Amino acid sequence: MVPYAVIRKFLAKHRGYYCEACLARQLRVAVEDVRRTADELERPDIITTYRMCQECLSERRVLGLRNRS
């Protein structure tokens, strides 16, 4: 499983939405590890939604950092 802090740091540094596969490739971990962490995330600052991935440009379930405005 990928620590929450690692995913949050990546999303803070690279703005946009990333699917689990692209996020796993960027973090050099297994897709299942990212998926397991995403399923367990109950944090208010990271959202999981259905949008276009910044990396592969396909429409799928993505993770992103919530705007604090």
Non-local (6+) Cβ contacts of 23 within 8 A are: 7, 10, 34, 63
What is the edge-to-edge ordering of all strands in the sheet holding 17-19? 17-19, 59-65, 46-52
Residues 30-41: tens digit of each pLDDT: 999 998 888 887
User: How many CB atoms are located within 10 Å of the residue 30 CB?
Assistant: 12
| pTM for this prediction | 0.83
| Domain carrying residue 32 | 4-65
- Number of domains composing the chain: 1
pLDDT above 90 covers a percentage of the chain that reads 59
